[in-house]
Amino acid sequence: MRIGLLTEGGYPYASGESHEWCDRLVRGLTGHDFEIYALTADARQETGGHRGHRELPDHVRLVGHAPLSGDFPVACRRPAEDRRGRAAGRRARRRFAGHFGDLVAAFATPPAVEHTAVGGEADRFASGLYGLAELARSGAALPALLRSEDAVRILEGICRGPGALPAARGGQLTDLLAVADALESALRPLSLDWYGETGLARVDLCHAASGGAAALPGLLATHFFGTPLLVTEHGVRLREHYLAGAAEPLNAPVRALLAAFRRALAAETYAQAALITPGNTHARRWQEHCGADPARLRTVYPGMDAGRFAEVADAAADDSRALVWVGDIEPAKDLIGLLHAFAEVRRAEPAATLRIIGGLGGDPEAAGYRAQCRALAAQLFPDEAADARTAGENPVSFEEIGSPDAPTLEDAYASGTVLVLSSVVEGFPRSLVEAMFCGRATVSTDTGAVCEIIGGTGLVVPPRNPRALADACRALLADPDRRARLGAAARARALELFTVEQNIAAFRGIYLDLISHAPAGPAAYGATARDGVPRPFERPAESHVPGRWAAAGPAARTPSWALAEGECRRSRCKRYGAAGEPAVRQAW
């Protein structure tokens, strides 16, 4: 089958966890053809393209891309838009005003005062969203309309009107301009040229690698062509927007309106998806809270490469008192609390050491936070010397992967007997799973999916509680047998649930299950075999029935007895000669 893989800001143009997961999925499912449609952060991200990474496999048939910021690329405009230019006609502006008004009114007014959409549609947001998509498909310059004065006036009228969100009523012109600019970027996928016969119209299944903007092309493929949509969220995109919005210097009206828009888009995505695969139960709870049907949710843990950690030595024979922390240094990891907890550990275990291994995360405050942690470590643990002739060493070290003492990630985990996770905000902690692959006992804070991952094979304490963290670390450092038992159980659990093979097998079954329940799309008719090998699901089942039901065109979907009288007469004329006998004799 042909899979349309929809990504945002990652595969195949950027590295990171999303890139690695998509790459493993594509390379693992060699029995399917993939077409990749990537929404990039900006046009500069596409400069190197996927050439900077490993060569894509042969069953990746197409790679399309479009930036979500900057000028709208000419290559992604529709031909009609190029002919008409950026100026929209009066009729297009009237249609835009109606659809954009429905869209904004749906998320800018509380549900208690939302009105029924024109045309009897109960969901005004969906009516406005697909109306704008159809307007763009007809050739209108939607990006220009979204940046126009008309859009700002519509926003202002709804925000000043009755029933608007309280936080939006005080918005100034600069706030409305910022919202209009953000909406143009978020709705840019509506204007792309991905929805023709050579694009998403011919795929059998759309797989969005995240929610938000990446799922928009899949929503349009479902709306225009009836293509099933599969949405995978390892971290809920709406939650990420909430956390990022709280950190950004946005005015309250802008933050409230954009949060309401993203919440409405997430609800529509969950409503239209044939299946949603959260990466853990923590993400699943968020999706259910946003309106996802529990019957269409299936948890699939992200697969990780266990092979690279197979050679890490067992910690059972290691009698050292080394704690290790691995990850990106940023305030959400609460290394300040970890350092205070380690001060308590040192009172009971004077030989204990703490290795903090990791670089700076994406947080803009990460560099300052690392300097603060270094200063606190120097204050809490002055350099200690064994005697009067040796140089003193601090029991806390700050290192990065690639340093002499930790050249690889495997070396980092092998250097400690207990892995510590001290985060106050966490999604799916990869370092915890990697430590489990290495057979290490773990001490973690109860955040995100930690309890779900550990499942009783490690110690879990409340976040922001250095005393509880210190007590758990002391308990494991003082009991080698317990460390060995927990490490062995952790390795067995990780190999059962979190491997690449488990993830690929799950999606192989999901793909087949979804396509087996999906009606044949228009692209299935008139298809021919490639290289003499028939493609499964390329032709609907009824086209293989012998006799007069085996019509070759789209009319074969409906038998003659279900057609209107005129359509039935035309269909009969195509199959029979003037005397009413079959023009071509076929054997039953």
What φ, ψ does residue 64 adopt, rounded to 5°? -110, 150
499-526 average pLDDT score: 80
Element (H, E) at 444: strand 441-445
Look at residue 580 in the predicted model and tell me its pLDDT: 42
Out of 51-60, 297-306, 453-462, 503-512, pick the least confident: 51-60
3-state SS class at 331: helix
CA dist 439 and 45 (Å) reads 38
CA dist 435 and 453 (Å) reads 12
The domains of the chain, with CATH numbers, are: 1-70+194-303+499-524 (3.40.50.2000), 91-185 (no CATH), 307-498 (3.40.50.2000), 540-588 (no CATH)
3-state SS class at 145: helix
- Is pTM beyond 0.75? Reply is yes
CA dist 206 and 227 (Å) reads 7
Look at residue 579 in the predicted model and tell me its pLDDT: 42
CA dist 314 and 218 (Å) reads 46
Look at residue 75 in the predicted model and tell me its pLDDT: 47
pLDDT category, 555, cuts 50, 70, 90? very low
Residue with tokens 């009107």: 161
**Angle at CA of residue 65, ends 63 and 66, nearest 5°:** 170
Residue with tokens 């074969």: 556
Residue with tokens 């970890």: 338
**In whole numbers, what is the pLDDT of the chain averaged over residues?**
81
Q: What's the pLDDT tens digit per position in 73-106?
A: 544 544 444 434 445 588 999 999 999 999 999 9
> Does residue 521 carry a pLDDT above 70?
no
Per the CB < 8 A criterion, the answer to whether 222 and 229 are in contact is yes
Look at residue 553 in the predicted model and tell me its pLDDT: 46
CA dist 62 and 455 (Å) reads 41
DSSP per residue, 212-273: GGGGHHHHHHHHHH---EEEEESS-HHHHHHHHHHHS---HHHHHHHHHHHHHHHHHHHHH-
Look at residue 418 in the predicted model and tell me its pLDDT: 96
CA dist 124 and 106 (Å) reads 6
What is the 8-class DSSP label of residue 539?
A: S
Q: What's the pLDDT tens digit per position in 326-343?
A: 999 999 999 999 999 999
